[in-house]
Structure 1
Amino acid sequence: MRRIDYDTEQYQDYARGRALTERQQQTWISAFGAVLPKGRPLVGLDVGAGTGRFTPALARAFGPVTGVEPSVRMREIAQAQSPHPDVRYLAGSAEDMPVPSASADYALMFLSWHHVQAKPRAVRELARVLRPGGRLLLRANFSDHHPRPWWLEHFPRGFAADAALFQPLHEVIEMFTSDGWRVTAFGTVTEPSVGTLGDMLQRLRLRTLSFFAQLSTDELEAGFRRLEEAVAANPAAPAPVFAEPLLTLERR
């Protein structure tokens, strides 16, 4: 995949393009709570926190959270738009987190795993920062367990180009289990609709998904032209929902 520099692209529109409704956020918080250790409060890490769309909600639900994010611009927006007394945002990445060893009960990586450059190193670093029995919540897409959003069909190479961003599930599991982790859960979460087809189109126009960075200018223009035509036929129709994978791993 083409690596995205969030300090020069996407950061201006990311918070709007990837915002969650209250119902969507609560759906995810409930799903996370079902697979996290039972005690409260929990110390959490939001790895690849971006603009902090989950970080304060995690703090409200479970306890203090550190958002780890490599992009200066994204951290600035998170600090300005997503503050919380039990949240701090630090420069870092999945491969190099500025937190003590065995200091967290869980880590969330929400659609950030495919951005990790040195994945084996990240597996070890995640094990370092979690306490024994700590959980990693990996909301990732997998090339063989792909949600296939409805709008992808309108773009040239849509499904193939998007799936190419991600590893197959078995490869991710093998990477972790060969380093001493164990799988505790794998399932899907159906996120409530963002609204209408027209609402979804407005978000997609902001191009804050990694998929869009993989297409040529001609492919983007052709895809958005087809998408605009399709949505124009019934812009008030509810946007379809789909099941999104959530893999939970435990540090032994």
Structure 2
Amino acid sequence: MRRVDYDREQYQNYRRGRALNEQQLGAWMSAFAAALPERRPLVGLDVGSGTGRFTPALARAFGPVTGIEPAERMREVAQAQAQHPDVRYLAGSAEELPVPSDSADYALMFLAWHHVQDKPRAARELTRVIRPGGRLLLRGNFSDHHPEPWWLDHFPRGLEADLAQFQPLHEVIAMFTALGWRVASFGTVTHPSDGTRADVLERLRLRTLSFFAQLSHDEAEAGLRNIERIVAADPGAPAPALAEPLLTLERR
């Protein structure tokens, strides 16, 4: 997997390219609420918070949140455009979390785990900072539980390139259970439609998915041309909803 440098490649378009509409944000917040303890407030971490697309919503729903993001320019966008009185953004990474031990009730990693370079170290850090009984919400793709958006097959090597970024589910679970965690739940969340297929194409052109970093320029262009032909035939066709995996782990 080629590492994405978000300080150079995607920070300018990321917030627009990965924005959630109200229905999509609501679906995910409902799923997170069902996976977390009922008491409020909860102290949260948004690990790999990027431009803060979830961070303020987490604070509104559950309590104070620290967004932790290694890319300086992604943090700058979050600090300017994703503000909330109970949110702060800090430099850090999953391998080096800048918060005290046993200080968080939960952490969210939303499509961030596959970017972690030293996963065993990150698992130990998450174990350090999340209190006993706390939760880790891991919205990640897994090589054996992988949602396939309608556009993926239109790229040469599309599925192959995307799958290469992810671990199988059992490897992720084994890493955490060896540190004393248990699986609280695993299932899928229906991510509502992104609008029309033409809407999706417009966002794909921004190339704010790590998938694009795994393709050559020619492969990416060929795939986008393929999708353009599909969209041109019926630009108003709705993009289908997608069932996406969510693993919830509990620290014992």
Offset of 1:27 from its aligned partner? 0.5
Distance in 1 of aligned mates of 2:217 and 2:127: 40
Gaps of 5+ in 2: none
Distance in 2 of aligned mates of 1:221 and 1:17: 17
Offset of 1:221 from its aligned partner? 1.4
Distance in 2 of aligned mates of 1:47 and 1:179: 19
Distance in 2 of aligned mates of 1:247 and 1:229: 36
Offset of 1:220 from its aligned partner? 1.0
State the number of aligned residues: 252
Equivalent positions of 1:213-228 (< 5 A) are 213-228=213-228
**1:46 alignment counterpart:** 46
**Match status 1:183 vs 2:183:** yes
Give TM-score, length-normalised by structure 2.
0.99
**2:243 alignment counterpart:** 243
**1:193 alignment counterpart:** 193
Moved over 6 A (4+): none
**1:209 alignment counterpart:** 209
**1:19 alignment counterpart:** 19
Distance in 2 of aligned mates of 1:131 and 1:2: 33
The amino acid across from 1:63 in the alignment is G
**1:57 alignment counterpart:** 57
Distance in 2 of aligned mates of 1:205 and 1:239: 16
Deviations 1:154-199 (A, max 9, x none): 0001111101110000111111111111100000000111111111
**Match status 1:108 vs 2:108:** yes
**2:130 alignment counterpart:** 130
Deviations 1:3-44 (A, max 9, x none): 011111100000000000011001100000001011101000
The amino acid across from 2:205 in the alignment is R
Q: Percent identity?
A: 77
**Match status 1:162 vs 2:162:** yes
Deviations 1:210-247 (A, max 9, x none): 10010111111111110111111111111111100000
The amino acid across from 1:136 in the alignment is L
**2:6 alignment counterpart:** 6
**1:77 alignment counterpart:** 77
Distance in 2 of aligned mates of 1:178 and 1:150: 36
The amino acid across from 2:224 in the alignment is F
Gaps of 5+ in 1: none
Structure 1 vs Structure 2 CA RMSD: 0.6
SS in 1 for 2:234: coil
